[in-house]
Amino acid sequence: MRRFAPAHGATNDAPVDTQTRIDDDPYAWLEDVDGERALEWVRARNAEAMDRLGGAPGFDAIRREVLEVLDSDAKIPLVSRAGDRLYNFWRDGDHERGLWRRTTLEQYRTDDPEWETLLDLDALSAAEGESWVWHGAQVLRPDCRRALVSLSRGGSDADVTRELDLDTLTWVEDGFVRPEAKGGLGWVDADTVFAYTDLGPGTMTSSGYPRTVRRWTRGTPLADAPLVFEGEPDDLYISAHHDRTPGFERDLVVRAIAFYRQQVFLLAGDGALTLLDVPESAEVSVHREWLLVELREEWQAGGAVHPAGALLAAPLDDYLAGSRALEVLFRPTPSTSLAGLTWTRSHLVLTVLDDVRHEVRVLTPGADGTDGWATSDLPGAPELTTVSVAGVDPDESEDLWMTTSGYLTPTTLSLVTVGTPNAAPEPLKAMPAFFDASRHTVEQHMATSDDGTRVPYFLVRPTDLALDGTAPTLLYGYGGFEISLTPSYSGGLGRGWVARGGVYVVANIRGGGEYGPRWHQLALTENRHRAYEDFAAVARDLVARGVTRPERLGVQGGSNGGLLTGNMLVGYPDLIGAAVIQVPLLDMRRYSHLLAGASWMAEYGDPDDPTQWRFIRTFSPYHLVDAERPYPPALLTTSTRDDRVHPGHARKMTALLRELGKDVTYYENVEGGHGGAATNAQAAHMTALAYTFLWQRLAGDVPTSAESGAGAGVEGDGTAA
């Protein structure tokens, strides 16, 4: 039975305007992100959190062990290729903000590659008095002498773009510079970029993202750049991209109307736009002569009915000429879904989930485009691991990067040449184990939700676990936006939780993408409660199996996962012993008016519509708190610089719980954006807070130091969220 009820005495059908939504909220002042009163409250809560957790036995050990993972030089330097160089962004103990650097494939194959540093963010931050956080770079092909570099102050989504000369390693004097905003620049040629960014009133959507695309020529003011496309005020995001594939150069404009709805246009040299006539809910991509359409909804075309989750292909020119002869490249089954796709020059490589287990398929079109597609398998990975593939250079190469990773299996990066008979993956880098996993095992189980749906979950446990209900257990979930949770190696999780004897569980609940768009759509808007029922079903199944009991079961989730764990706290308090709620949505009455919240109404609904507010309020934790009901201890964390999910959600929920005398701990990092941390040290600190809190509340204290392995984790590894 669902454990949700309306908030105290409020009527469901009352009209709601923005001002009323603020005036009837006693903690609305905490939405003032940088207001002195709000920040004084934050500093007081942070001090309390550090008193409770920072001084606890074991906190420093966890923080130190996780930081060793993050700062270790044994991490795999993940790379991308441009021209004949491999590019990597790297952070370690000597480079807190990080280095952007490059090397050759020959050097990369060695145990100690020689790297050329292109940009030192620590030096740049010191010189400019800023806390720069890396947001990526675009190298201009084919000569690879210029790059557009994006940098964020403190980790916020809003960032700046600058042009870097890769020969002199200096900022280009007359270069492209985009002021701080949400958006970006994209190369068209050496003297032209597409610009989609904030240019003043009317140029941003109601969600706070770009509404226009302009073609900006070097040496001219950005404000005078000719308009390419303008979306509607309530659209989500407008952007453009130049495809530089030799012989197939083209420009594309993408109008994201909402999550799961978009239009893609081909842009001609005279500015004319040709809409690709496919369902707005579909994902569309082009490669050389091919058009790919990945369906989220059933579609009738070419005399056939294609199911949601299918992948279709057609020659682009034929399609534009009116043909609807579509080749079905993937058709889902009740247990399978398309997890991803990538191209080499002449092969399409699919990753498929079958009951959340990975397999990789190689599809090769016939020589003249009319002979169908041949299918073969790519060598897989060990059981219950994740396989990820990406084309090294789809314009020129048949090579793939292939990574494999599992909860107890350190990540390996290999190079695979597709289409070569009997070609085996060439291991390039292997991450050494960072904790002793020899005494642990990974299993997959199924729980049964309230409506009879089978819900898979992964269980990581000691091999000799006594099924007597005493094991401290951490249950992690997300359940939204068609995002799948699959196995991955985390040295921080391993050291902070698993190697200390904790059981770790990942639930593949509805709202995610584990079974394709169908699995996601089953938990949208008025059906949101299904995701929470699924998570509760996994919790009950763990108890029924004797793995744990409610007082020893903790839950953790961030962002939409924070909404999940917030609902577990207020809706299912009898099932859990502690909740970690990170960068969360919690006030679902106000969410669409805060930062990027308006962009998520396709997921949750519109709270300004009284009919929709009737069901939204049933999963708005801030409005479901009951003064008379006991709740398990909760830790809420967020970032002052999170400009995606407003920190006011976590602040207000904490203030309400505090006023009612509930056991709540709060910590707000001053940097980090929606990721919660801007440096390895901050990430280790936030991870240590979470695991110390969980050990205290589920087991009484933090176990002694974990047994460590020989090396470190993947770069960026260290948190479970």
3-state secondary structure of 237: strand
Residue pointed to by tokens 């302009």: 214
Model confidence, pTM: 0.92
708 is an active site residue: no
Adjacent-strand bridge partners of 580: 556, 635
DSSP letters, 372-405, are -EEEEEPP--STT-EEEEEES-TTT--EEEEEEE
Helix (H) or strand (E) holding 319: helix 316-320
DSSP code for 629 = S
Contacts 24+ apart (CB under 8 A), 216-225: 216/176, 216/185, 216/192, 217/191, 217/192, 218/174, 218/175, 218/176, 218/190, 218/191, 218/192, 219/174, 219/191, 222/178, 222/195, 222/197, 223/199, 225/195
User: Which positions ≥6 away from 371 have C-beta within 8 Å?
Assistant: 365
pLDDT of residue 330: 98
The residues, ordered by sequence, that sit 6+ positions from 108 with a Cβ below 8 Å of its Cβ are 77, 79, 86, 428
Cα(612)–Cα(236) distance, integer angstroms: 20
512 neighbors 483 (Cβ within 8 angstroms): yes
- Relative to beta strand 503-507, strand 473-476 is parallel
pLDDT value for 24: 86
Q: Which residues of the chain have pLDDT under 70?
A: 1-23, 368-370, 379-382, 705-721
Tokens matching residue 575: 């099932």
pLDDT digits (tens, 9 = 90+) for 267-301: 999 999 999 999 999 999 999 999 999 999 999 99
Q: What is the dihedral of CA 540, 545, 547, 551, to 10 degrees?
A: 30
- CA 175 to CA 669: how far, in whole Å? 34
Going by C-beta distance under 8 Å and a sequence separation of 6 or more, which residues neighbour residue 174?
218, 219
The alpha carbon torsion through 308, 313, 316, 319 (nearest 10 deg) reads -60
95, 440, 674, 685: which is the annotated catalytic residue?
674
Given a contact cutoff of 8 angstroms between Cβ atoms, the answer to whether 279 and 312 are in contact is no
Tell me how far apart the alpha carbons of residues 570 and 567 are, in angstroms, rounded to a whole number: 5
Report DSSP letters for 37-80, one per residue: HHHHHHHHHHHHHIIIIITSTTHHHHHHHHHHHHH-TTS----E
Q: Are 245 and 395 in contact (CB under 8 A)?
A: yes
E strands, 383-539, where?
386-391, 399-405, 412-417, 426-430, 440-448, 454-462, 473-476, 503-507
| b/e burial code for range 29-44 (CB count within 10 A of at least 16 → b) | bbbebeeeebeebbee
Residue 587: what residue type?
A: D
Q: Is 674 a catalytic residue?
A: yes
Please tell me the predicted confidence (pLDDT) of residue 681.
Answer: 93
| Predicted pLDDT of residue 23 | 62
Which candidate in 156, 488, 559, 639 is catalytic? 559
Q: How many CA atoms lie within 13 A of 670 on its CB side?
A: 7
Question: Is residue 425 a contact partner of residue 463, using CB atoms and an 8 Å limit?
Answer: no
For residue 384, the model assigns a pLDDT of 79
